[in-house]
Amino acid sequence: MVGFLDRLRALGVDERIVQAERDGWIPLAARSPERVAQWVARKQERIADPEFAEFYVALSAALECGDDPQLVEPADRVAAYVTKLADERGEEYVGDPAGIEPVLAELMDRLVFDTVPSARRLIELLKQRGWAGWTTLRRVDPAPAAPAPTAPRPPRPGTRPSSSGGPICPP
């Protein structure tokens, strides 16, 4: 795991993300020590993939960002990447680490979301693209995008605008 964390630092990933990764491994190791070597090997394999590494770099760049414009492109790239990975290797490979109880996955997700607030919005955007979860990623039906705001309707003839912006009908 130390090698993985060092690789994140070498990529220039923000230290808060590195710490969230490190802190997430503590409950994993405590709960399932026999599986840690397998999970770390998978992380090492993935971080060697430039597309996966770019995800961490993009998340790091968007760390302070809460608005969609800076998160949309990383969400698009991550969704395309995990879809390709799931199609090539199977969804169980993407849903790493396998065998984590839902309550532990929830705890780990909260740790990431508290440490890296933009991760929560990134996950919302991923859900719109067919993927849900952070610790245990899974394919879902894409969430519908928020409806586009509608333009205000022009006032009806014989009305005048009010200070609140809505029409006032004449007496």
Q: Express each pLDDT in 62-84 by its tens digit.
A: 776 656 677 888 888 888 988 99
Return the top range by mean pLDDT from 11-15, 106-110, 111-115, 134-138: 11-15
Q: Report pTM.
A: 0.68
- Burial 128-155, CB ≥16 within 10 A → b, else e: bbbbbbbbbbeeeeeeeeeeeeeeeeee
3 state SS of 161: strand
Region 82-109: what's the mean pLDDT?
82
Dist. CA 3–CA 97, nearest whole Å: 18
What does pLDDT average to over the chain? Answer: 78
Half-sphere exposure at residue 146, Cβ-oriented, CA atoms within 13 angstroms: 6
For 152, phi then psi, to 5°, come to: -65, 145
pLDDT value, residue 167? 34
